[in-house]
A and B are shown apart, each in its own frame.
Chain A
């Protein structure tokens, strides 16, 4: 079993553990980012308009990412206004660890 201590094996194990850990963390904290009112509205399975609040002013990277989830209608300070977002998209946005909060506009 000495091969278990070989650096390649340790490396791959650490990598797998890190990935599993981050996935678990992200999925566990995701619901906490969604505003309760929004969570209720999502049950209707329609498109909603949301305001995504970040702990920092969004950069081009974030705007581009949001454009893949809906229609970016504006930026107010550290909040991005995103229109026509479905429940699946909201969940996907909530899983980003750098998002502080998603709420209805």
Chain B
């Protein structure tokens, strides 16, 4: 057996054993039913919620919000990061501020947003957009700062105007930082979104699992959790990580 097949077989074996243990525990543990529904119940919830149109709608709502945050973050955060990064003095000055605001995630600002906008969609969007924005600004700035002065000076000696330096050296050089910032920002942002949906009660995966808890629909909770995990893994594996790898591979020369 080739190593690949062996790993796959072992993986299936482990999966089967895990599902078996879970079903056994669900059937035998002396706890109320809603504590640990068996895997079949979770599967049932999947078909049930899809047939009822609930799951696709909630998934779409959550995805819309995170996508909007990604686009806004890129359109707003990258230019800001580029501009701030162009000056060494400004960068040094902003660094602690950006670090501070990045670490105070959007969720911490949510209560203030509730005072400003109440329990509505805008509150969620502001919190999530904020969470995605700061890692993008921060990492774009770091990306620009990491471009060796050598390249900038080389272009200067060739008589290039300021804007050429930006488009030909600084932006490409910052691209790996931008990709990393996007990946980090969305990682924080996806989690902040789930929390915000729970708190504000708007339609989405966070709301779905939180609501299900009040009705002891634990199979739905587990289904929702699975979807949250799967969606992030898919997003990361198919979009974010390839983007990061591609920018590092192509422009990684310019970054130490």
Contact = CB atoms under 8 A, between A and B. Distances in A.
A6 B234 CA distance: 15
A56 B51 contact: yes
B52 A61 contact: yes
A105 B243 CA distance: 54
Interface in B62-97: none
A8 B238 contact: yes
A5 to B, nearest CB: 13
B52 A62 contact: yes
B52 A97 contact: no
B43 interface: no
Contact of B53 (A6, A7, A11, A97): A97
B44 interface: no
Nearest to A56: B52
Contacts of B53: 62, 96-98
A59 interface: yes
B86 to A, nearest CB: 31
Chain A interface bracket (under 10, 10 to 19, 20 to 34, 35 or more): 10 to 19
B239 A61 contact: no
Contact of B242 (A6, A62, A97): A6
Interface of A: 6-8, 11-12, 55-56, 59, 61-62, 96-98
Residue from A11, A55, A56, A61 whose CB has the most chain B CB atoms within 10 Å: A61
A12 B242 CA distance: 13
B24 interface: no
The 10 closest A-B pairs by CB, nearest first: A98-B53, A11-B238, A8-B242, A61-B54, A8-B238, A98-B52, A96-B53, A7-B238, A56-B52, A8-B239
With most chain B CB atoms within 10 A of its CB, the pick from A6, A8, A56 is: A8
Interface string B234-251: 100111001100000000
Contacts of B51: 55-56, 98
22 contacts: A6-B242, A7-B242, A8-B238, A8-B239, A8-B242, A8-B243, A11-B234, A11-B239, A12-B238, A55-B51, A56-B51, A56-B52, A59-B52, A59-B54, A61-B52, A61-B54, A61-B203, A62-B53, A96-B53, A97-B53, A98-B52, A98-B53
A61 B234 CA distance: 27
Contacts of A96: 53
A18 to B, nearest CB: 11
A56 B47 CA distance: 13
Interface in B194-225: 203
Contacts of B234: 11
Given A7-B242, A61-B203, A62-B53, 19 more contacts: A6-B242, A7-B237, A7-B238, A8-B238, A8-B242, A8-B243, A11-B234, A11-B239, A12-B238, A55-B51, A56-B51, A59-B52, A59-B54, A61-B54, A61-B57, A62-B52, A98-B51, A98-B52, A98-B53
